[in-house]
Each structure stands twice: as C-alpha cells, then as structure tokens.
Structure 1
Amino acid sequence: MAIFSRVRDIFAANMTELLDRAEDPARMIRMIILEMEETLVEVRASAARSIADGKEMRRALTRLEKLQDSWTEKAELALSKDREDLAKQALIERQKAADMADGLREEIDQIDETLKTYEADIAKLQAKLREARSRQNAIANRLESAMTRAKARELLNGERTNDAFSRFESLERRADLAEGQADALGLSGPKSLEEEIAELKSSEKVDAELEAMKAALKKKSS
C-alpha cells in the first residue's frame, strides 16, 4: 500500500508522526524512502519530457520565423512585379505562420513555468529524501545499540557466564590445594644453611641463660 498519494503529500508529511504511529519504524522508513525514490524518478522523467517538448517547439518556432521571412520576401517580390493579388496572398500566409508562432511561444512559456515547478519539486523531494535517510541511519544506530546492550546484559547475567565463573572458582580452589600441598612438602624437607645457623644461635642464647640461672641459684644457696 502506498504511503503517499501524490508529490504534495510527501512535502506535507511529518515523518516523526509517521514513525511514531508505525508498529515497525524500520520497515516504515524503508517504505517511505522507496516511495520517495520512485516519485523522484517519475518527476525527473516528466521534467525530461517537458525539456524535450520545449526543444522541439523552439525548433518549430525557428522554422515558422524563417517561413514568415520567406513570405515577406515573396510579397515584396510580387509587389515589385505589380502582382498585388499575389502579394496579398503571401501576406495572408505570413500571418498564418505568425499566428502559429505566437501559439508556440505561449506553449513554450507554459513549459518553462512547468520546468521551474519541476525544479522546485525535485529540490524539495531530495531534501525530504535526505531527511528520511538520516532518520533511517538514526533508527539503525538505535537498533544496533539496543542489540549490543542486550547481548552485554545476556553475557553478564546469562547461565554461560555464571557457569564460567563457577569454573573459575573451582580452578582457584584447585590452585589453593596445590599450593598447600607444595607448602606442606617444604615443611618436612631438609633445613637450609641459614636455618641451621639460626638454630645454633638460638641454642647458644638458651645455654647462656641456663648457666646464668645456675650461677644465681648457687650464689643464693651459699
């Protein structure tokens, strides 16, 4: 079903209202653009026909003007030969050509006015078409943005994401267990040189404190 019935409907159309009423704005804007493009092609075709008609009429007008000049020369020739009757007939034919030329001039003027109307209509149609394509891009961007947001939310809140995080937690527990086992193995292993020296120092300190306590007790008992 056509959205517009004539060119003037396109000029008067409010695309915002059309899209607000549409159940599927993306489909509606595609239909609007398609009909505008078809209408623009039709208007250009009509303008081309008018241009062709104007050119043909101008050629015919040129021929009629030459014909008038020819009849004028014939009338003058007839008068120069004292044939007034022939001169009169030649002038009658010239007048017929002049009348036809005047009619063609009026038609050419009408065609020129029509072409001005076509030119204005084409400019308005192109402006409307640019507006429609701009709206189409805006709708496409909004739809793409909405789909991207929906995918992101699905990714964040979906079962696959939850399963992935559960697997991460399981892997972390396995890593903790492996590290614990490694630490436990380190506890039962041979002592390093630094550890043995530290133990000797600690033992010397304990022995010194023990000897001091013995001396103090001996002195006290004596």
Structure 2
Amino acid sequence: MGLFTRMSDIVQSNINALLDKAEDPEKMIKHLILEMQDTLVEVRSVAATVLADKKQIERRIHKLEIESTNWQNKAQIALQKDREDLARAALGEKQRVAQALDGLYEQLNEAQEAIGKLQNDSSQLNDKLLEAKAKQKTLMIKQRTQSTRLKLRSSDAYNKVDTAIVKFDQYERRIDDLEAQVDAFDLVSETKSLSAQFDELEANDEIEKQLTELRKKVA
C-alpha cells in the first residue's frame, strides 16, 4: 500500500466505528496509534527528501537562468561585431537552456505541490493521532473505573455497607411500630380505671425509653 493511500485510509477512518467492532478495543486503539506514528515518521522522511530535491532544482534553475542571460549578452556582442553566425549560435544555446529551464520549472511545481500535500496530510494525520490518543485515555479510565467497582463489590466493605443499610431499615421499622403503639394508647377512651391509667403511663415510659435507645443506635 502506498504512503498517500495509507494516509488517506487513516485520515478517513472512523475510530469509534472501528472500536465498536473490535473484540479488544484497547488492543485495537494501541495498534492504530502505532500505525499512525509509523506513518508520520515515513511522511517526515519523504518530506525531507522532497525538500532536498526542491532546493537542488532551484539551484539548477538559478544557474541556467544566469547561463541564459550570458548567451543573450554574447549574441548581442556578436551582432555588434558583425558576427551573425556567432550570434545565431549563441541564441541556439540560449534556446537549449530555455528548454532545460522549462523542464526544471515543471519539476519545481511538482515538488511544491508534493510538499503542500504532505503538509496538509501530515496535519490531518497528526489530528487523527491526537484523537486516537484521547480515545485511548478514555478507554484506560473506563477500564480502571470498572476494575475499581468490581473490587469494591467483591470486598467486605461493600458487604458491610449492605448489612448496615438493612439494619438501619430494621431500626426504622421498629421505631415506626413503637410510635404506632404510643399513638394507639392516645386513641383509647379517657374513661379508664385509675389502675389502667397508671399501667398506661408505665407502658408509655417504657416505650419512650426504647424509642430513645433506638434513635441513638440509628444516629
């Protein structure tokens, strides 16, 4: 697979879709990141080569432009000396240089286009790499969170919390029952015997005592 084709595939890829299909998302995202990093290294190497070629082409163009000017000057001098044959030969050399320059100008444009494409593609690839690393970090946090929750559920502390909640519910129920007994006494007719009224007071005192103890335990 060519470099540009591989870069295009990576840039256009949907990381979330790939991870949804993967059996092991963490392994998949790690593989993607490594592939992106390797591709970026290759892109930088290619870009360095193209830049070196561009500089060499520019140096050759500069030399030929100077040579073209020299042949033009020589043709003028030859005409001034009535040497049309030499002037014709000088213009012929200038034409040869011009043809060489046309080829170099074309190569320079191609190099500049290649550099522009490499810069654009490498920028997109780097953005994709940052996206993949952010996704990897999210997966790692999620995995650690799930592991922590699993350990907590299997620990004695989690079981103790469950037990405490159950006991608390039981205490609340007992308090409700005792308070209901107190309320029930209040509903009884006031026309009671003196003995019954004293019994009721004692019962109420006992209930209040139990309520106080239970409230302390709940608190």
TM bin (shorter chain): 0.5 to 0.7
Residue matched to 2:197: none
Unpaired runs of at least 5, structure 2 = 161-219
* 2:121 pairs with 1:121: yes
Matched residue, 2:69: 69
For the aligned residues, what is the CA RMSD?
1.9
Q: Secondary structure at the match of 1:6?
A: helix
Cα drift, residue 154 of structure 1: 2.0
Name the counterpart of 1:175.
Answer: none
- Which residue in the other structure is 1:106 paired with? 106
Structure 2: which amino acid aligns with 1:136? Q
What is the TM-score with the length of structure 2 in the denominator? 0.68
Aligned residue pair count: 157
For 2:125 and 2:6, locate their aligned partners in 1 and report how far apart those are by CA, in whole Å.
12
Distance, in Å, in 2 between the alignment partners of 1:11 and 1:118 is: 13
Quote how far apart the aligned CAs of 1:156 are.
Answer: 2.7
Structure 1's consecutive aligned runs of 4 or more residues displaced over 2 angstroms after TM superposition are none
What is the alpha-carbon distance in structure 2 between the residues aligned to residue 157 and residue 19 of structure 1? Answer: 35
Work out the percentage of aligned pairs sharing the same amino acid.
41
1:113 maps to a residue whose letter is E
Report SS of the residue matched to 1:82. coil
Map of 1:135-154 to 2, 5 A cutoff? 135-154=135-154
Counterpart residue type for residue 144 of structure 1: R
Cα displacement string for residues 25-50 of structure 1 (whole angstroms, at most 9, x for unaligned residues): 11110000000111111112111111
Map 1:31-180 → 2, pairs under 5 A:
31-156=31-156
Counterpart residue number, 2:22? 22
Deviations 1:88-115 (A, max 9, x none): 0010001111111121111111111111
SS of the equivalent of 1:26 reads helix
1:133-157 superposed Cα distances (whole Å, 9 cap, x missing partner): 0000000001111111112122237
TM-score (norm 1): 0.67
